[in-house]
Amino acid sequence: MSQGTAIQDRKPSAGGVNATFLWIEIKRMLRNRRTIMFTVLMPAIFFFIFGLSNKNQQLPNGHSYGQYILISLTVYAAMTAATGAGSQVAVERAQGWSRQLRLTPLLPGAYIAVKAAAALTLSLVAVIAQFVIGALAGVTMDAQTWLTAGLVAWVGSLVFAALGLFVGYLMPSQNVMQILGPALAILAMLGGLFMPIEIMGDTFGAIAKFTPAYGIGQLARSPITGEFDALWIVNVLVWLAIFVGGAAMAFRRDTNRV
């Protein structure tokens, strides 16, 4: 090790995103059995329960219920994956890792960016896994539909990565997913991911339109329903803004306190 490091002044590091950091983050997530259970196994089981038996039923517009439920559960898988990945900051805070990182040049923005990128990686895994399961179970769609639905589910999961970060910075819990898991299931149900909104009744149908999973679900199913409403995009953007704003606020509160 070099001598006299003390008197050698240095240039400050940029503290930006780097590949090693991102790669280790992704490895950590894929090694976590619980994460894989939430993101791959549970949505797959839901598909077999809700989807397979009704696979060949028809929606009013002639599309198959199998397609409808596969895309919906793919959105659910992606949102669970992204939320779970984002909420890992709670664990890292509890383990003092966030504090340790403050002793390195890493900028908070770069940390958040890596977390978001890792969350998107995991949600991509979730989308692909769900589509493979659906295809193996006999759901067929044209290439355009697979691609569009997959992209919407994947990119839309960013909203939930922000939710995960928000809750992760808000709660000290090591088991933040035990709270978020059921909460996400309720949001998915209200957003029409487990059953079509049309059969939910007027009250719940009206509430559904204001919940965070609704817009992404409607947009992802758009290729098979043939419908489009700009309000769905508004729903996605508003919830993104709420969760990002909440995460930023909780993050600031957290770093001030430490």
Q: 3-state SS string over 23-83? A: HHHHHHHHHCHHHHHHHHHHHHHHHHHHHCCCCCCECCCCCEHHHHHHHHHHHHHHHHHHH
Nearest residue to 141 (alpha-carbon basis) of 225, 80, 53: 225
Place of tokens 């709670």: 90
Minimal distance in Å, beta carbon 109 to other proteins?
A: 14
Give me the residues that bind other proteins (CB under 8 A), please: 1-15, 18-21, 24, 27-28, 31-32, 92, 95-97, 99-106, 258
The least CB distance from residue 168 to other proteins, in Å, is 15
Name which of 91 and 183 has its Cβ closer to other proteins: 91
Nearer to other proteins, 19 or 136 (CB): 19
DSSP 64: B
Nearer to other proteins, 57 or 100 (CB): 100
Q: What is the Cα–Cα distance from 58 to 235, expressed in whole angstroms?
A: 28
Please identify, using beta-carbon distances, which residue of 27 and 48 lies nearer to other proteins.
27
- CA 248 – CA 242 distance, rounded (Å): 10
Find the shortest distance in angstroms from Cβ 35 to other proteins: 11
Contacts of 241 (CB under 8 A, 6+ apart): none
Please state the closest distance from residue 13 (CB atom) to other proteins, in A: 4
> Based on CB atoms, which residue is closest to other proteins, 31 or 136?
31
Query: Cβ(145)–Cβ(40) under 8 Å?
Result: no
Least distance CB 165 / other proteins (angstroms): 17
